[in-house]
A and B are shown apart, each in its own frame.
Chain A
């Protein structure tokens, strides 16, 4: 399964949920869902914007873990 470590990266960069959602261009609710790993999938477009805003790699946010 894929684990989302968005909260960890947000904390490291000192970026809030609202700020990140605004910069990425998605709603607060969707960003909250993504942060809590409650989404079915993520678009490459959204992922690249998050990486751009947080200055990180997709691997810093997403991690594969055995179920």
Chain B
């Protein structure tokens, strides 16, 4: 596939992903906080921790998207697409990895705390409590795991491309 085609596809993907992510950041992030507010008459610290965890992860994803978008939109006058993509992919992978890891830790702690304290099962409707409470945390853990997998793939991809760069830097070519 031509580099220009890859650029167009990557740009479209990044824009769509960023827009949907941005919408979800505003609508999904406050869910645990609002849920606790409704159930317990006042917002809990746990809900706040979950919200912060979601925002941390989302921001790390946006940092990555920004770097990729910058590389993709660098234009045909710049150096090769690979040259531009290698460093952002490597750096973005590392940022996403740290963000996802923080996200994972926060949500797993929240999940354990909720199970141990049994505050999910105090209500009369246990089924709804599981769906509303555990469902969100489990979904977030799953998203975090996907994020980790993507970040590892990006780091590996970035490393592969950087190998090419290193080879080129040692070039003694006469063109």
How far, in angstroms, from A46 to B174 measured CA to CA in the complex? 10
Is there an interface contact between B78 and A17, defined as CB atoms closer than 8 Å?
A: yes
User: Does B124 belong to the interface (CB within 8 Å)?
Assistant: no
Is there an interface contact between A18 and B168, defined as CB atoms closer than 8 Å?
A: no
How far, in angstroms, from A7 to B171 measured CA to CA in the complex? 19
Is there an interface contact between A42 and B76, defined as CB atoms closer than 8 Å?
A: no
Interface bin, chain B:
10 to 19
How far, in angstroms, from A14 to B77 measured CA to CA in the complex? 8
User: Does B79 belong to the interface (CB within 8 Å)?
Assistant: yes
Q: Please, which residue of chain B has its CB at the minimum distance from the CB of A36?
A: B79
> Which residues from chain A contact B77 at a C-beta distance below 8 Å?
7, 10-11, 14-17
Is there an interface contact between A17 and B173, defined as CB atoms closer than 8 Å?
A: no
Is there an interface contact between B173 and A43, defined as CB atoms closer than 8 Å?
A: no
The count of residues in chain A whose C-beta lies closer than 8 Å to any C-beta of chain B is 26
Report which of A15, A16, A17, A46 forms a contact with B175, defined as CB distance below 8 A: A46
Q: Which residues of chain A (3-39) have a CB below 8 Å from chain B?
A: 7, 10-11, 14-19, 26, 28-36, 38-39
Cβ proximity bits B70-96 to A, threshold 8 Å, 1 near / 0 not:
000001111110010000000000000
Q: B residues engaging A (CB < 8 A)?
A: 3-4, 75-80, 83, 168-169, 171-175
Closest 10 CB pairs of A and B: A16-B76, A41-B174, A30-B175, A40-B172, A32-B80, A32-B79, A39-B173, A34-B175, A39-B175, A40-B174
